[in-house]
Amino acid sequence: VVTLSGLRGVLSRIGSEPPPGKRECRVGQYVVDLTSFEHLALPVLRNAGSSSGPGHRVCIIDEIGKMELFSQPFIQAVRQTLATPGTVVLGTIPIPKGKPLALVEEIRNRNDVQVFSVTKENRNHLLPDIVTCVQSGRK
């Protein structure tokens, strides 16, 4: 996990089987470090709507994926940030495959969200569309 101010923490690590009786949040071979993730990500999200000044505030979330969604406080903070007036969220969500991720589908289906599919072919040409979207206040 890296904040825009440069703070760093661990999101996950390669882990073996958990000790008997201990439950771990896992994605494949990775064990998610919820404490480290929440320590860095939650204060940033909770402060996203507190800035003052003219224009929209932009909150960047890279990414809202399977590992991050083990954190219920993160899910609530993302919902709150999306609902904050004057805050535009520039985020990344995974392409749907397999079992849908509830928050990802909730975000994808919001009326105030514009989803851009980024490919190798279009990635260098999307910036003008994204800037227009941010300036209009869409998430």
Which domains, and CATH codes, for the chain? Answer: 12-137 (3.40.50.300)
Q: Is the pTM of this model over 0.75?
A: yes
Instruction: Give residue-wise pLDDT tens across range 10-51.
Output: 999 998 776 666 678 999 899 999 999 999 999 988 887 665
Contacts 24+ apart (CB under 8 A), 41-46: 41/1, 41/3, 41/68, 41/71, 41/74, 41/77, 42/73, 42/74, 42/77, 44/3, 44/4, 45/74, 45/77, 45/78, 45/80, 45/81, 46/77, 46/80
